[in-house]
Structure 1
C-alpha cells in the first residue's frame, strides 16, 4: 500500500509537470506531494532532510548556471553563434545543419541543456529563415542535442551533476571518459539527421536577411572560457562548481548592471524547489520497493553487455518516469560501479530523445516552438527518436567500454 501511494504521488507530480495547467510551475504539485510523502510516513523527516542536503549543492549549481546562461545571452553570445552558423552555412542547408550541430553541442556541453533549449533554439529558427533553409531539421537538432550532447562535462546536465557527486571521479577524469561517447553519439545523430531530413535539406527558400551583424562578444566569451576552466581547476580543491558558476555570473552581470531582481528571476527558484521536492517523492518510491526491484535486474559487472543493459534500462526508465526521477532511482543501485554509472548517464541523457516526456528540456523545447509558430509534429519526433536513440545508445556505450578499457 505504501508503494502504491508513493507511486501515485510520483505519477501525479510528473503528469502535472508535463501538462503544466495554466502555465503553473512544476513546484505547485511537487512541493505538496513531498509534504504528503512525509506526512503519510512514506519518508521520515530525517531522510527528507538528508535528501535536501544531498541535492542542495546540485540545485544551487542549476540556479547559478541558469543565471550564467541568461547573462551570456544578454551579452550577445547566442546571437553571435547564430551569425557564425549563418556564415558557415553560406545558404546551404546541409552546411547550416552541421554548423547548428556544432553550436548546439558546444552550448549544451558548456552551458547546460537549458541554455540550448531556451536561448539557442530561437536563434536557430531565426538563422534558418535568414539563410533560406527550412527550420525543421535545425530546430529538431537543438532538441536532440540538448539531451544527447549533455554527456561531456559534469556541469552539462543536472543528471550529470547528480552522478558526478556519487562517482568519486575528478572533473577531468569524468570528462576524459565521456569525451569519446559524446563524440560518437553526436556523429551518429548527425548521420541519421542527414538521412531523415534529406528532403528538407535539398530545399532552398528565399533568404530573409535581417541585417544583424556585429563584433564578437569577446568579454563574455573570455568570462565563459575562464568559468569553464574554473570548473576543472576548482574541483580538486573541494570547491563546488556552483561557486564557480556564481563567480562567472557576477562578472557578466557587473558590466550591464543587472538588477538583483532579474538575477533572482532567472535563477528559476520554483524549478529548483521542484527538483528538491521531486527528490523526496522519488525517495519514497525507492524505499518501498523500486530500489530492490532495480537492484535485482541491474547487472553486477561492467562488461560490454552489462553496460548496454544498464544504458537501455535507463533510457526506458527515463521515458516512463522522466530522466531526472530515473537518475535519482538508479543512482543508489549503480553508484558503487563507475562504469555502470556512466552507462546509466548515456541512457538517461540519450533516451529522452524518444518521447516528449523523456526530459523536461524537451517539453520546454516544444513550448518554445509553439510560441514561434513552428509547432513540431509528434509523429516526426517519435519516428526520429526510433531511428536515433537505439543507434546512439549502442555507439555511445561501445565508446564508453573502449574508454574504460584504455583508461583502466
Structure 2
C-alpha cells in the first residue's frame, strides 16, 4: 500500500505512466496526499485490530548454546543467532547511499528523457559491483534465492490477461464503462478503483493495471480524466489488491519468505484481517483522490 504515493516504488505504478501523459513529478503532485491519507487509515486500522496482541515489551526467550539453555537474550523470530556484530556496516552505508542516489536520479534525470529502466539498471550494477569488490561474492546466491515460481506465476497471469484482451475483454470494458465515467471524475475514480481491485485479486495487479490502462486510453476521455482514472487504477492495484494473497507479487513473496522461516500465515488468517481493513482504506483513498484532484488542484 505504501508504494502508491511515489510512482517508482512499485512496478505496477510505472507500467503505463507514459501512456497517460504523467511524469514522475506530476504523479506525486496528484497522488501523494490522497494515497498517504489511505495509508494512514490502514495503519490506524491495523493498530486498532492488533492492539490487544501487541506486547508492550518483547519477551526474552532461551537460546541454545552448546546444547544447553544457558542464558536468555532478546531475539527476533527471524534471527535467533543475533550475529549483527559480523555485519559490514561500511558496506551497508555505501550500498544505502547507492540506493538513495538511484532513487533521486529517477526524479532528476527522467525530465531529460533518461529511461527509468536504464537508471535502475545502473544502480543495480553498481550494487553488484560494490558487493563483489568488498566481499568477492558473485551472483550465484541471488539466482538461487530468487523465488522464480512467483515470477513464473506473474508471467502466466500476463498470458492469461492478454488472452482475455484478444477475445474482447477490453472492448467489453470500454463499451460498458465509457458512458458511466466520461463526464464524471467521481465515477471514473470509484469505478476504475473498484474494477482494478477486482481484476487484481483475480489475476494479480501487474496485468490488471495493463488491462485497466488500455481500457481508459481507448475511451476517448479528456486527458485530465484519463490521468485521474489511471491514478484510481493504481490505488486499486496497490491497496485494493491486498484483499487476497494473489493480488500482488509483494504479498506472495512475503508469504514465501515467512514459510521458509516456519512462520505459517494461512489464507484464512490473512483474509480475516484484509477483508475488514482493506475495503475501508481503499474507499478512503479513492474519495481522497477525487477531492484532491478535482477540487484542490483546479
Question: What is the TM-score normalised by the length of structure 2?
Answer: 0.77
Aligned to 2:279: 390
Aligned to 2:288: 399
Of the three residues 346, 349, 353, the one matched with 2:242 is: 353
**What are structure 2's unaligned runs of at least 5 residues?**
61-73, 76-81
What is the CA–CA distance in structure 2 between the aligned matches of 1:264 and 1:198, rounded to whole Å? Answer: 37
In structure 2, the CA distance between the partners of 1:302 and 1:237, relative to structure 1 (3 Å rule), is farther
Residues paired across the two proteins, number: 261
In structure 2, the CA distance between the partners of 1:276 and 1:386, relative to structure 1 (3 Å rule), is closer
Q: How far off its partner does 1:266 sit?
A: 7.8
Q: Secondary structure at the match of 1:164?
A: coil
Of the three residues 31, 36, 47, the one matched with 1:183 is: 36
The answer to whether residue 104 in structure 2 is matched with residue 229 in structure 1 is: yes
Aligned to 1:154: 7
Q: Secondary structure at the match of 2:167?
A: helix
Q: Secondary structure at the match of 1:357?
A: helix
Matches within 5 A, 1:7-406: 148-202=1-55, 204-207=57-60, 208-209=74-75, 210=82, 212=84, 215=89, 217-257=92-132, 261-262=139-140, 265=143, 278-298=157-177, 299-335=181-217, 337-405=226-294, 406=296
In structure 2, the CA distance between the partners of 1:332 and 1:367, relative to structure 1 (3 Å rule), is same
Q: Deviations over 1:2-52 (max 9, x none)?
A: xxxxxxxxxxxxxxxxxxxxxxxxxxxxxxxxxxxxxxxxxxxxxxxxxxx
In structure 2, the CA distance between the partners of 1:318 and 1:303, relative to structure 1 (3 Å rule), is same
**What are structure 1's unaligned runs of at least 5 residues?**
1-147
Q: Secondary structure at the match of 1:155?
A: helix
Q: How far off its partner does 1:322 sit?
A: 1.9
Q: Tell which deviates more after alignment, 283-292 or 188-197.
A: 283-292
Aligned to 1:81: none
Q: Secondary structure at the match of 2:54?
A: helix
Q: Secondary structure at the match of 2:239?
A: helix
In structure 2, the CA distance between the partners of 1:244 and 1:273, relative to structure 1 (3 Å rule), is farther
CA contact (8 A) 2:170 2:215 kept: yes
In structure 2, the CA distance between the partners of 1:301 and 1:385, relative to structure 1 (3 Å rule), is farther
Q: Deviations over 1:286-313 (max 9, x none)?
A: 1212112211333224522331121111
Q: How far off its partner does 1:267 sit?
A: 11
In structure 2, the CA distance between the partners of 1:367 and 1:264, relative to structure 1 (3 Å rule), is closer
Q: How far off its partner does 1:360 sit?
A: 2.8
CA contact (8 A) 1:356 1:363 kept: yes
Q: Secondary structure at the match of 1:165?
A: coil
What is the CA–CA distance in structure 2 between the aligned matches of 1:326 and 1:174, rounded to whole Å? Answer: 19
In structure 2, the CA distance between the partners of 1:272 and 1:201, relative to structure 1 (3 Å rule), is closer
Q: How far off its partner does 1:201 sit?
A: 1.2
What is the CA–CA distance in structure 1 between the aligned matches of 2:269 and 2:160, rounded to whole Å? Answer: 33
Q: Deviations over 1:50-81 (max 9, x none)?
A: xxxxxxxxxxxxxxxxxxxxxxxxxxxxxxxx
**Greater share of helix:** 1
Q: Rg: which structure is higher? A: 2
CA contact (8 A) 2:154 2:204 kept: no
Q: Secondary structure at the match of 2:286?
A: helix
CA contact (8 A) 1:302 1:339 kept: no
In structure 2, the CA distance between the partners of 1:296 and 1:229, relative to structure 1 (3 Å rule), is same
Q: How far off its partner does 1:364 sit?
A: 2.2
In structure 2, the CA distance between the partners of 1:162 and 1:255, relative to structure 1 (3 Å rule), is closer
